[in-house]
Amino acid sequence: MSKILIIDDESSIRAALRDILEYEGYTIDEAGDGDAGLKSVLKSNYDAIFCDIKMPKKDGLDFLTELKKEEIQVPVIIMTGHGDIETAVEALKRGAYDFVQKPLDLNRILVTVRNAMTHEMLVQESKSLKKKLGKVVGTTIIGESQAIIDITSMIDTIAPTEARVLITGGNGSGKELVARQIHEKSNRNTQPFVEVNCAAIPSELIESELFGHEKGAFTSAIKTKPGKFEIADGGTLFLDEIGDMALPAQAKVLRALQENKITRVGGEKDMKVNVRILAATNKDLKKEIAAGNFREDLYHRLSVIVVRVPSLNERKEDIPLLAEHFLNQIAAEYGQPKKQINTAALKALQQHSWSGNVREFRNVIERLVILSDQTIDEKAVKLYASPYFH
């Protein structure tokens, strides 16, 4: 439930706002001046703040300045009288999200607070995305084994085409990396690469996620939302773990592929989309078809080209290169000098079975970096990596 702080020295204003916002389902805290408001913000997290401009002890402008000093990011809606427009503009310059004039208007308050929360959600999503992207040190597939030579050659051949590609392989083998390489080497590489993890989205939400929804399409649909097909228009849509997609959504994806059109949930208007579909799965889709869990016609639409990603056990000769890559990557992330790994340790790593593939291997290297001394040796591998091995 969203939590809002009201800061105003007039108790009648606080009470009126509380009644309006609590009726809409928000949790409300109050403060009588800027000092008390700042103390509340330092103790609790708020989704939005209503703050008066003129108050004793600390006014609204000073409150905004203090928030900035504390590096607290929350949308602040300033409340101001009719004669204080210049002050309200100054508040916006200091970081306020918006302002409302007194006497307060019910509809204006509700629209402003909803917009503020939507804005903050988008800001946080953007930060999260940038943080994830910041951790990606290139998208090069690491390895010199014959299996990797074959797969990179295949990528070079199919990337410039518009062919749909089904990428198969075990968990952690690098299916997403293959998809990103195909996109980066394609003619769509300046357009969006949009990923959807079909296994991570509840079946009742997958259609909305893929195709978007219209305002009012269901209870929580308070605004129109574009789906991943729209967002990826002109670029590449990567449907990860496609084998976990519910059958009703499969039918709609099939229609989108056949007609290059989508319809938002709750909508009636068809929208043309131009996306290249890459899909991935760790399941045997032919067995899923036989079991009635996957549509055969969709399988044939997706599998114009099938790329099988080799397991790490099939390319153990790449382990030294992968270890070097991850040691460099982890050192950069931790801001620490790179640790070395000796030949005996590498041989020990090559002797084990990697059921979790490259993802598991990366986790083991990170553990060794954290727990071992300056040089990772065979003893460290046996001591610290053993929980991962069989």
pLDDT digits 0-9 by tens, 105-145: 888 899 899 888 887 777 766 555 544 444 444 468 999 99
* Interval 282-340: pLDDT, tens: 999 999 999 999 999 999 999 999 999 999 999 999 999 999 999 999 998 888 888 99
Please name which of 240, 248, 225, 246 lies closest in space to residue 194, comparing C-alpha atoms.
240
360 pLDDT band, cuts 50/70/90, is very high
Mean pLDDT for all residues in the chain: 88
Residue-wise burial string across 147-184, b where 16 or more C-beta atoms lie within 10 A, e elsewhere: bbeebbebbeebbeeeebbbbbbbebbbbbbbbbbbbb
Would you state the structure tokens that stand for residue 77, as one six-digit string?
């809606």
Sequence length of the chain is 390
Q: Which residues pair with 306 in a beta bridge?
A: 166
User: In the numeric block, which tokens belong to residue 335?
Assistant: 């801001």
Region 203-226: mean pLDDT is 83
pLDDT band per the 50, 70, 90 thresholds, residue 87: confident
Give the DSSP H/E element, type plus range, for residue 320.
helix 319-334
Residue 136: the pLDDT is: 43
Tokens 């195709």, residue located: 211
**Highest mean predicted confidence (pLDDT) among 7-21, 89-103, 191-205, 305-319:** 305-319
Nearest Cα residue to 361 out of 181, 135, 182, 171: 171
Partners of residue 236 on adjacent β-strands? 193, 276
pLDDT for 107: 87
* The pLDDT value given to residue 150: 95
Rounded to whole angstroms, how far apart are CA atoms 344 and 348?
A: 6
Confidence bin at 213 (pLDDT 50/70/90): confident
Show the beta-strand stretches assigned E in 81-120.
Answer: 98-101
Q: How far apart are CA 206 and CA 249, in angstroms?
A: 7
The predicted model scores a pTM of 0.64
The pLDDT confidence band at residue 223, using thresholds 50, 70 and 90, is confident
Domains of the chain plus CATH, in order, are 3-129 (3.40.50.2300), 136-308 (3.40.50.300), 313-388 (1.10.8.60)
| Three-class SS state of 85 | helix
**β-pair partners for 51:** 7, 78
